[in-house]
Structure 1
Amino acid sequence: MKLFGFINFSLLLFVTISLSCTDFQTAKYSAVLKYWCGKPYIPKNQLIKNLNQLKLNINQCNKKTSCLTNKNEPNCTGTLSSETPPTIRLPPTSDPVPLIPNLGNGYTVMFRNQPYLSTDLVGSLLVNLNNTISTISVKALLHDGSEILAITKIKHDGNSIELPFSLTPIKPKLEAHEVKILFYIEDMLAHISYAKLYVLPVGPKTVKIDRLYGGILTSTNETIFPVGPYVDIGGWLEKGNIQTNLQTLKDQNFNIINPDPPYPNISFIHQMFQAADAIGGIYIQFSFRHDYTDIQKVINQVNQFKNYSSLLTWYIADEPDGENWTNRSSAVFEAYDVIKKIDPYHPISLTLNCKYSSAFYADATDILGTDVYPVGVNMLPCTEYCDVCGCDDCIGSVTLDIPKRTQQYIKDLTLIGREFIIKWMALQAFYDQNAWWERAPTSQEFSVMWHISIINGYKCLMFWRFPFFLDHSVIDQIIDLSKEIKELSNYLLFMPQLSPSHIVISPDNDIYVGVWMSKNQNKFLLIVVNGNKKLSVNFRITIKDLICLGLLPGIGRIDNETNIKVSIENGVFEGNLKKYGVGTFIFEKTLINRAYTDCYDIQASRE
Structure 2
Amino acid sequence: MKFLCFISFSLLLFTTISLSSTNFQTTKYFDAVKYWCGKPYIPKNYLFKNVKQLKLSINQCSKEERFDPKKQIKTNYTATFPSETPPTIKFPQTCEPVPLVPDLSDGYTAMFRNQPYLSTDLIGSLIVTLTNTISTISVKALLHDETEILVKTKIKNEGTSIELPFSLAKIKSNLEAHEVKILFYNEDILVHITYAKLYLLPIGPKTVKIDRLYGGILTSTNEKIFPVGPYVDIGGWLEKGNIQTNLQILKDQNFNIITPDPPYPNISFIHQMFQAADAIGGIYIQFSFRHDYVDIQKVINQVIQFKNYSSLLTWYIADEPDGEKWTNSSAVFEAYEAIKSVDPYHPVTLTLNCKYSSAFYADATDILGTDVYPVGVSMSNCTEYSDVCGCDDCIGSVSLDIPKRTQQYVKDLTLIGRESNLKWMALQAFYDQNSWWERAPTPQEIRVMWYISIIYGYKSLMLWRFPFFLDQSVIDQIIDLSKVIKDLSNYILFIPQLSISHIVVSPANDIFVGIWMAKNQPNFLLIVVNGNDNHSVNFKITIKDLICFDLLHGVGKIDNEKNIEVIIKDGVFEGNLAIYSVGTFIFKKDLINRAHMSCYDT
Normalising to structure 1: TM-score of the pair? 0.89
Partner letter of residue 90 of structure 1? D
The question of 1:88 aligning with 2:66 is answered: yes
5 Å-filtered alignment, 1:559-578, equals 559-578=559-578
Instruction: Report the equivalent of 1:267.
Output: 268
Contact 1:257 1:285 in 2 (8 A): yes
Is 2:422 aligned against 1:415?
A: no
1:243-392 equivalences in 2 (<5 Å): 243-327=244-328, 329-382=329-382, 387-392=387-392
Stretch deviating more after TM superposition (553-562 or 116-125): 553-562
AA in 1 matched with 2:369 = G
User: Could you tell me how far 1:593 is from its partner in structure 2?
Assistant: 1.4
Aligned to 2:243: 242
Give the deviation of 1:126 after TM superposition. Answer: 0.6
1:540–1:282 CA distance, 2 compared to 1 (3 A):
same
CA contact 2:6–2:233 (8 Å) conserved in 1: no
Deviation, 1:87, is 3.9
Find the residue that maps to 2:430 and give its secondary structure: coil
Structure 1: how far apart are the matches of 2:576 and 2:146? 58
The residue matched to 1:519 in structure 2 has which SS?
coil
For the 8 Å contact 1:180–1:193, the answer to whether it is kept is yes
In the other structure, the counterpart of 2:188 is 187
Q: In the alignment, residue 213 of structure 1 is paired with which amino acid?
A: Y
CA contact (8 A) 2:551 2:590 kept: no
2: distance between equivalents of 1:48 and 1:595? 73
SS in 1 for 2:369: strand
Query: How many angstroms apart in 2 are the aligned matches of 1:83 and 1:239?
Result: 45
Distance in 1 between the 2:103 and 2:384 partners?
Answer: 23
Q: Secondary structure at the match of 2:154?
A: strand
Equivalent position of 1:159 in the other structure: 160
1:385–1:594: structure 2 CA closer, same or farther, 3 Å change rule?
farther
Q: Which residue of 2 aligns with 1:112?
A: 113
Q: What CA distance in whole angstroms lies between the structure 2 residues aligned with 1:591 and 1:150?
A: 39
CA-to-aligned-CA distance 1:75-132 (integer Å, 9 cap, x gap): xxxxx85652634322213374312222111110000001000011000001111111
The normalised TM-score by structure 2 is: 0.90
Distance 2:37 2:348 in 1: 22
CA contact (8 A) 1:229 1:257 kept: yes
User: Are 1:460 and 2:438 counterparts?
Assistant: no
Give the deviation of 1:594 after TM superposition. Answer: 2.1
C-alpha contact 2:356 2:409 (8 A) present in aligned 1: yes
| One-letter amino acid of the structure 2 residue matched with residue 231 of structure 1 | V
**Matches of 1:384 and 1:353 in 2, distance apart?**
19
What one-letter code is carried by the residue in structure 1 that aligns with 2:598?
A: D
Q: Say whether the 8 Å CA contact 2:286–2:312 is kept in structure 1.
A: yes
User: Aligned equivalents of 2:383 and 2:341: distance in 1?
Assistant: 41
- What are the equivalent positions in structure 2 for 1:23-172 lying under 5 Å apart? 31-46=31-46, 48-49=48-49, 53=51, 81=59, 83-84=61-62, 86-94=64-72, 96-172=97-173
Aligned-residue sequence identity (percent) comes to 78
Assess if the C-alpha contact under 8 Å between 2:30 and 2:49 holds in 1.
no
- Return the alpha-carbon distance in structure 1 between the equivalents of residues 385 and 404 of structure 2: 17
Structure 1: tracts of 5 or more residues without a match: 10-28, 62-79
Give yes or no for contact 1:225–1:489 (8 Å, CA) kept in 2: yes
Distance 1:83 1:589, change over 3 A: closer
Distance 2:409 2:103 in 1: 14
Task: Name the structure 2 match of 1:593.
Answer: 593
**Aligned partner of residue 432 in structure 1, secondary structure:** coil
Amino acid paired to 1:210: D
Residues 30 and 47 in structure 2, CA contact (< 8 A), matched pair in contact too? no
Separation of aligned partners in 2, 1:595 and 1:445: 44
Q: How many residues align?
A: 561
Stretch moving more, 260-269 or 381-390: 381-390
Q: Which residue of 2 aligns with 1:397?
A: 397
Contact 2:181 2:195 in 1 (8 A): yes
How far, CA to CA, are the matches of 2:97 and 2:407 in structure 1? Answer: 15
Question: Offset at 1:540?
Answer: 0.8
- Does the 8 Å contact 1:6/1:432 carry over to 2? no
In 2, Cα distance between the equivalents of 1:508 and 1:83? 39
The alpha carbon displacement at 1:293 in A equals 0.5
**Cα offset for 1:41?**
1.9
The corresponding residue for 1:18 is: none
Give, in whole Å, the separation in 1 of the partners of 2:64 and 2:199. Answer: 35
Aligned equivalents of 1:381 and 1:300: distance in 2?
A: 43
Quick one: structure 1 residues 343 and 31, their matched pair in 2 at CA, closer, same or farther if it must change by over 3 Å? same
Given that residues 430 and 465 in structure 2 are in contact (C-alpha distance below 8 angstroms), is that contact kept between their aligned partners in structure 1?
yes
Once residues 266 and 8 of structure 1 are traced to their aligned partners in structure 2, the CA distance between those partners, rounded to angstroms, is 24
1:255-300 per-residue CA deviation (whole Å, 9 max, x = no partner) reads: 0000000000000000000000000000000000010001111010
* Mapping for residues 459-538 of structure 1, pairs under 5 Å: 459-538=459-538
Q: 1:321 to 1:85 in 2, by over 3 A?
A: farther
Aligned match of 1:13: none
Query: 1:86 corresponds to which letter in structure 2?
Result: E
Aligned match of 2:14: none
Q: 2:16 aligns to what?
A: none
Counterpart contact for 2:44–2:381, Cα < 8 Å: no
How big is the shift at 1:519? Answer: 3.2
Looking at structure 1, the residues matched to 41 and 131 of structure 2 have their Cα atoms a distance apart, in angstroms, of 38
Instruction: Return the alpha-carbon distance in structure 2 between the equivalents of residues 383 and 43 of structure 1.
Output: 11
CA separation in 2, counterparts of 1:383 and 1:190?
A: 46
Shift of 1:47: 6.2
- CA–CA distance in structure 2, aligned partners of residues 86 and 57 of structure 1: 15
Q: Return the offset for 1:502.
A: 0.6
Is structure 2 residue 449 aligned with structure 1 residue 449? yes
Q: Structure 2 counterpart of 1:538, which letter?
A: N
The one-letter code matched in structure 2 to 1:235 is G
Q: CA deviation at 1:569?
A: 1.1
Query: In angstroms, what is the RMSD of aligned CA positions?
Result: 2.0
Structure 1 stretches of 4+ with a deviation exceeding 4 A read 5-9, 47-50, 80-83, 383-386
Give, in whole Å, the separation in 2 of the partners of 1:159 and 1:421. 15
Q: Secondary structure at the match of 2:159?
A: coil
- The amino acid of 1:217's aligned partner reads L
The residue type equivalent to 2:69 in the other structure is P
Matched to 1:599, the amino acid is C
Are the aligned partners of 2:207 and 2:220 in contact in 1 as well (CA < 8 Å)? yes
User: Does the C-alpha gap of structure 1 residues 85 and 420 become closer, same or farther in structure 2, counting only changes over 3 Å?
Assistant: farther
- Which region of structure 1 is more displaced relative to structure 2, 305-314 or 80-89? 80-89
Change (3 A) 1:138 1:433: same
Partner-residue secondary structure (3-state), 1:599: helix
Deviations 1:197-219 (A, max 9, x none): 00000012000000001110000
Assess if the C-alpha contact under 8 Å between 2:30 and 2:46 holds in 1. Answer: no
The residue number in structure 2 matching 1:66 is none
8 Å CA contact 1:230–1:462 kept in 2: the answer is yes
8 A contact 1:495–1:519 mirrored in 2: no
Taking the aligned partners of 1:82 and 1:33, their CA distance within structure 2 comes to 11
The Cα of 1:188 is off from its aligned counterpart by 1.1
CA contact (8 A) 1:96 1:385 kept: no
Q: CA deviation at 1:382?
A: 2.3
AA matched with 1:494: F
SS at match of 1:509: coil
Inter-partner Cα distance in structure 2 for 1:240 and 1:83: 48
What amino acid does structure 2 have at the position aligned with 1:419? E
Pairwise CA distance, 1:460: 0.1
- CA distance in 2 between counterparts of 1:353 and 1:288 reads 17
Equivalence for 1:24: none
Per-residue CA shift, 1:156-210, capped at 9, x if unaligned?
1111111000011210000000100111111111111100000000012000000
Question: How far 1:589 moved relative to its partner?
Answer: 2.0
Distance in 1 between residues matched to 2:304 and 2:178, nearest whole Å: 23
| CA-CA distance at 1:426 after TM superposition | 0.2
